[in-house]
A = this chain, B = another copy of it.
C-alpha cells in the first residue's frame, strides 16, 4: 500500500507560500494561524483534491473524506464543540478560494451543522431563538440553491409571499415563528424538487457542500472570468472549512472589514467599517449604515487596540497593505481573512514611498510594486472631484454600469456608429450609446470619446474593443433604457436625446447628463511620484526620451524627466495655417526653380520651429526627422476635388473656378497612390524632390548654429526616414552633410551633430550592418515596422479585422499596442546585432508608439537599446517600466 496523498491541511500545517495548493484565502488563514493570530479553528481541502475530484468524474479522491473527518475531529477538540452535538453543536462554513482572487465568482455555504436537533443546542447556547432560526433558514436556503442547485427563485418567492401576507417591509420584520415556518417551507421545496429531504446528518451536509464548492470552479461565470483575466483553467479551488463565529450575538459582537492603510489616499491609518451585532452580509446589504473603524476605538477600546496591533503585525509580516475581515463574537476578536489590499494609483505610490521610509521595503521593491500603467491615471485628465460631486448634488447622475474601460469621457450622445463616425471625424466629441455593440460598430467606436452600452459584461464586445482602443467605456448599464427609433435613452427619470452632452467615468461606471469638468493633473504636486521615479532612475539602464514636435511639448517632456527628443516630426509644421498655402504651391510647382523659391519661403518658418526646440532642450539631444508623408497629403483629398469638379461641370456656372479645380484634380490624380503608405514618401521624397530635404537641413543647422552662438548647448540629430536600401541613406546623407557643413561655415560655428535613420522597413532591419555604415544612430519606427512586418495597414485593419482577431483569440494582442516580440521583435534583435557589429557605438532607440508601452519597454531593455522615446505624458511610465525591466534582469541573473 502506498502512502495516502495528503489532501487536507490544518491551518497550522500551511503558510502564505502555499497559495497554489491552499488557494489565496486558505494560505492567508494558515499564515495568520501560524503567527498566532486569533483564527477560528479550521482546515483546508486542497486545490489538488478539487482537480482529482474532476479527474475521477466528480468523485472525491480516495482518502480525502477520511482526512476531512480527521481534521474535523481536531477542530472539534480545539473548539470544545462537536459536529451534530444537540447540546453544543459545532457549526462550520465551507468557502471556495483559488490561487488568484475571483471575487464572488465561486460558492460558499455557511452554518453547516445545523439540523432540527442541533438548533436546540444553538438556542440554548445563544439564548436567542430568532437568531438560531434565522441561521437555520439561511442554511436551508443556501444549501438548496448552492448545493442542490435548485433555482433561487423557488426560495425567494416563499420569503416574498410571507412578507406580503404579513405586510412586512424588510426581512428583519420576520418573527421567530415566521422563520420557523419559512424554514419548513424551504425543506418542502427541497423535497419536492429533489425527491429527498434536507439532510439532517451534518457530515452529509459537509460532504455535499464541499463537492458543491469544487463544482463551482467550473460554473459559467467563473470560467468567463478566468477567460477574461487570463487565469488558467487547470488550477482548481480549495475548500476552506472554518468554524462559524457570529457577529450578530448582541452588542458585544460585531463584524467588519478594514485596510491597514487608506486605499484611496495611501495615508497610514486604519481604514474600514464595522457594525456591532451584525453579520457580514448586513454590512453589504446596506440596511444599517456601518461605522468607520475609528469609532471602534471608543466603543471597544481593548478590541480595537488588539485589532490595530494585529493589522500592524500583518502589514510588517506581509510587507504590504492588507485587506482584512474580522468578526467579534461575544467580546472575542476573530480574524477571518487577510489579503493584499487593492488601492488607487495615488495610494499605491504613496504607500510604496512611505514603506521605504518606514524601512519596511527597499527602494527596489517600491519601484517594482507599482504597475506602470497605474501612473497613467495620475497624469491624465480625470473628472474634477468637486464638479462630479456637484453633478451628483444637481441630480445629474443617470446610472451606474460596469466600469469596463477606465477614463473620463465627455461628448454628445450618438445612437449609431455612422453618426458617431461622422461627428467624430468632424471634430465633435461623441459618446456612442448602443444596446450592445458588434463588429459593425467599430468604425463609430474608433471616432468616439467613449462608449456606453446597456447590455453585456466585462467581456462583451464593447468592453474588449474599448480597452483595446484605450477609450473609456461603461458597459452593461442596464439602468438605462434606449429607444433607437426616437434616438433617446432614459435613466433616473431623465431623457437624453441625440446630440445631448453626457459624461461617463469608465473607472467607476458612472454616467451623468451634461458635461463635467475634467482636470489636468498637476505634476509639481506629485511629490511621492517624483520620489519614486527618482529611485527608478537609479536602477534603469534605458534612457527615456520623448516625441515632441513643438517647444511646449518638449517643455512638458522635460518636466516629466525626458532626457532628449527622440522624434520631432517636421511635417506637422507644414500643416500650420500660414504655411500650408506655400506648401501646396510648392507641391504643385511646375518647375524646379519655382519649387526652390517656395522652399526658400518655408525656410525661416522651419528655422524658427527648431530654434524653440533647441532652446527648451538646452544640453540634450534633439532628433529631427525629415519630412515623411507623401506630398499629396498636403493637397485636398482626391474625392473632395473630384466632387467639386463634377458639380462645377454639371452647373457650368463658374468656368474659371472649374479650370482651376480641373488643374488641381489633374495634379492630385497624377500624384495619387494605391498604397500611399508604401509609396513616394520618406527619404524617397527627399531623393525625388530636389531641394526639399536640403531646405529642412539648412533650417536645422541655421537654428542650431544661431542658438549655439547664444550660449545654448545644442545636439541636433538629423533622422532620414523610410530607408530600405543602404544607398538611399548614402545619397541623402552625402547631400545633406554638405548642407550641414556649408551652413556651419556660413554661420562661423561648429555644432555637435549626428546623421542617422529610422529602422521601419523590414529590409532595413535585415541589412542593418550595411545601413550602419552611413548611420550614426538608428531609431525604430515600430508603427511602420509592425505594419510592414505584419502586412497590415493600421488605418484599415483595426476597425475591419484586427480588433476582432484579438477578440476571437486569433491574435494574443493588438500588435500596434504591445510590440510583437515574436515577429517584429526578431527584426529588432537582428538590427541591434548587425548594426552594432558594424558600428559598436551605434545609438539605438525606439520612437514608435510602443516606446511608451511597459511590456515593449521591457523588450527594448532586453535588446540593449540606448533609449525609448514616447509621448511626453508617458515619460514617467517609461522611466518606471525601464527600471522594472532592469530590476527583473538583476533578479533573473541572481
**Residue ranges of A at the interface with B (Cβ–Cβ < 8 Å):** 443, 638-639, 642-643, 646-647, 650-651, 670, 673-680, 684, 687-688, 722, 724-725, 727-728, 731, 760-763, 766-767, 770, 784, 787-793, 795-797, 800-801, 804-805, 808-811, 820, 822-824, 826-827
A722 and B791 within 8 A (CB): yes
A789 and B763 within 8 A (CB): yes
A804 and B679 within 8 A (CB): no
Q: How far is the CB of A784 from chain B (nearest CB, A)?
A: 7
B801 and A684 within 8 A (CB): yes
Could you say which residues of chain B place their CB within 8 Å of the CB of A760?
791
A796 and B680 within 8 A (CB): yes
A826 nearest in chain B by CB position: B766
B797 and A680 within 8 A (CB): yes
A678 and B797 within 8 A (CB): yes
A638 nearest in chain B by CB position: B639
Q: How far is the CB of A829 from chain B (nearest CB, A)?
A: 10
Could you say which residues of chain B place their CB within 8 Å of the CB of A679?
793, 796-797, 800
A811 nearest in chain B by CB position: B725
Q: List 12 A-B residue pairs with CB atoms under 8 Å apart, sorted by A's residue number.
A: A638-B639, A646-B647, A650-B650, A674-B793, A679-B800, A687-B805, A688-B804, A724-B791, A725-B823, A763-B790, A766-B789, A766-B823
A440 nearest in chain B by CB position: B670
B795 and A791 within 8 A (CB): no
B792 and A678 within 8 A (CB): yes
Could you say which residues of chain B place their CB within 8 Å of the CB of A678?
675, 677-678, 787-788, 791-793, 796-797
Could you say which residues of chain B place their CB within 8 Å of the CB of A670?
443
Could you say which residues of chain B place their CB within 8 Å of the CB of A680?
796-797, 800-801
A348 to B59, CA, bound (A): 84
A809 nearest in chain B by CB position: B727
B724 and A790 within 8 A (CB): yes
Q: How far is the CB of A797 from chain B (nearest CB, A)?
A: 7
Q: How far is the CB of A825 from chain B (nearest CB, A)?
A: 9
Beyond the given A678-B793, A679-B793, A731-B808, please list 13 additional residue pairs across the A-B interface where CB-CB is below 8 A: A443-B670, A639-B642, A646-B646, A675-B678, A678-B796, A679-B800, A680-B801, A687-B810, A724-B792, A760-B791, A762-B791, A762-B823, A766-B827
B801 and A687 within 8 A (CB): yes
B789 and A675 within 8 A (CB): no
Could you say which residues of chain B place their CB within 8 Å of the CB of A687?
801, 805, 810
B674 and A676 within 8 A (CB): yes
Q: How far is the CB of A95 from chain B (nearest CB, A)?
A: 38
A770 to B800, CA, bound (A): 25
B639 and A793 within 8 A (CB): no
The 10 closest A-B pairs by CB, nearest first: A678-B793, A675-B793, A650-B650, A761-B791, A763-B823, A679-B796, A646-B646, A673-B796, A675-B675, A762-B762
Could you say which residues of chain B place their CB within 8 Å of the CB of A767?
822-823
Q: How far is the CB of A769 from chain B (nearest CB, A)?
A: 10
User: Which has the most chain B C-beta neighbours within 10 Å: A673, A675, A760?
Assistant: A675
Could you say which residues of chain B place their CB within 8 Å of the CB of A725?
790, 810-811, 823
Q: How far is the CB of A120 from chain B (nearest CB, A)?
A: 62
Could you say which residues of chain B place their CB within 8 Å of the CB of A763?
789-791, 820, 823-824
Q: Given A639-B638, A650-B646, are A731 and B810 also a contact pair (CB < 8 Å)?
A: yes
Q: How far is the CB of A730 from chain B (nearest CB, A)?
A: 8
Could you say which residues of chain B place their CB within 8 Å of the CB of A642?
639, 642-643, 646
A811 and B638 within 8 A (CB): no
Could you say which residues of chain B place their CB within 8 Å of the CB of A795?
673-675
User: Which has the most chain B C-beta neighbours within 10 Å: A642, A650, A823?
Assistant: A823
A685 nearest in chain B by CB position: B801
A691 to B579, CA, bound (A): 51
A680 to B789, CA, bound (A): 16
A827 to B823, CA, bound (A): 12
B810 and A788 within 8 A (CB): no
A643 to B639, CA, bound (A): 9
**Cβ-neighbour of A676 out of B646, B675, B688 (below 8 A):** B675
Could you say which residues of chain B place their CB within 8 Å of the CB of A791?
678, 722, 724, 760-763, 784, 788
A760 to B788, CA, bound (A): 11
A673 to B646, CA, bound (A): 23
Q: How far is the CB of A654 from chain B (nearest CB, A)?
A: 13
A791 to B728, CA, bound (A): 13
A214 to B792, CA, bound (A): 57
Q: How far is the CB of A468 from chain B (nearest CB, A)?
A: 16
A684 to B803, CA, bound (A): 12
A827 to B767, CA, bound (A): 11
A789 to B811, CA, bound (A): 22
A761 to B795, CA, bound (A): 18
Could you say which residues of chain B place their CB within 8 Å of the CB of A797?
678-680
A822 to B765, CA, bound (A): 11
A784 to B767, CA, bound (A): 19
A786 nearest in chain B by CB position: B763
Could you say which residues of chain B place their CB within 8 Å of the CB of A674?
676-677, 793, 795-796
Q: How far is the CB of A758 from chain B (nearest CB, A)?
A: 11
A810 nearest in chain B by CB position: B727
A257 to B704, CA, bound (A): 70
A811 and B727 within 8 A (CB): yes
Q: How far is the CB of A312 from chain B (nearest CB, A)?
A: 50
A723 nearest in chain B by CB position: B791
Could you say which residues of chain B place their CB within 8 Å of the CB of A793?
673-675, 677-679
A816 to B394, CA, bound (A): 67
User: Which has the most chain B C-beta neighbours within 10 Å: A789, A791, A811, A826?
Assistant: A791
A651 to B650, CA, bound (A): 7
A791 to B727, CA, bound (A): 15
A680 to B795, CA, bound (A): 11
Q: How far is the CB of A494 from chain B (nearest CB, A)?
A: 34
A763 nearest in chain B by CB position: B823
Could you say which residues of chain B place their CB within 8 Å of the CB of A811?
725, 727
Could you say which residues of chain B place their CB within 8 Å of the CB of A722?
791
Q: How far is the CB of A676 from chain B (nearest CB, A)?
A: 7
Could you say which residues of chain B place their CB within 8 Å of the CB of A801?
680, 684, 687-688
Could you say which residues of chain B place their CB within 8 Å of the CB of A809?
727
A762 and B789 within 8 A (CB): yes
Could you say which residues of chain B place their CB within 8 Å of the CB of A805?
687, 728
